[in-house]
Structure 1
Amino acid sequence: MTDVNECTVKTVDFFARPADEQQDFLRQTWCNECMEMDLGMTSPVEYHDKDKVWIEGECVKCSAKVVTEIVEEDE
């Protein structure tokens, strides 16, 4: 049986982000299948865990899974 505390990954509403942030994250991608950057992403799902935030979606060109990790910058 799995301990509930081990499941730390949570789905977050990507579309709650400001529209300009959404567009930046959807545009600034890397596809390991196409070996190209900034092709774009569809069907985004945002995840958080204890240490990081990332968005998973599908490459606009080939539909392979793409993952963009979000790094919060200190200002």
Structure 2
Amino acid sequence: MSDSPEETPIAKDFFARPVEEQADFLAQTWCNQCMEMDLGMKNPKEYETSQRLWIEGECVNCGAQVITEIVYEDDE
């Protein structure tokens, strides 16, 4: 038994992001099916837990699920 139960992801509004950010996240992808990067993503859905933030969608090339994890780096 795990000490910490898995959190239920909270759906976020991907389209509330600035258009430039949306374009970057939709273009900068990795598809495990095609084994290629930057093929693109369609039908994006954004989710968040206290531990992570990510976008799920479909590979533009093959339709497989692709996930892009969003990591904000400190500028310090």
Which 4+ runs in 1 deviate beyond 4 A? none
Give the Å deviation of 1:47.
0.2
Greater share of helix residues, 1 or 2? 1
What's the TM-score, normalizing by structure 1? 0.89
Long gaps (5+) in structure 1: none
Aligned length: 71
CA RMSD of aligned residues (A): 1.3
The answer to whether the 8 A contact 1:12-1:48 is kept is: yes
What's the TM-score, normalizing by structure 2? 0.88
Asked if 1:28 corresponds to 2:28, the answer is: yes
Q: Percent identity?
A: 63
Long gaps (5+) in structure 2: none
Aligned to 1:46: 46
Instruction: Please give the alpha-carbon distance, in whole angstroms, between the structure 2 residues aligned to 1:36 and 1:7.
Output: 31
Instruction: Please give the alpha-carbon distance, in whole angstroms, between the structure 2 residues aligned to 1:66 and 1:12.
Output: 17
- What one-letter code is carried by the residue in structure 1 that aligns with 2:73? E
Q: Indicate the SS of the match to 1:45.
A: strand
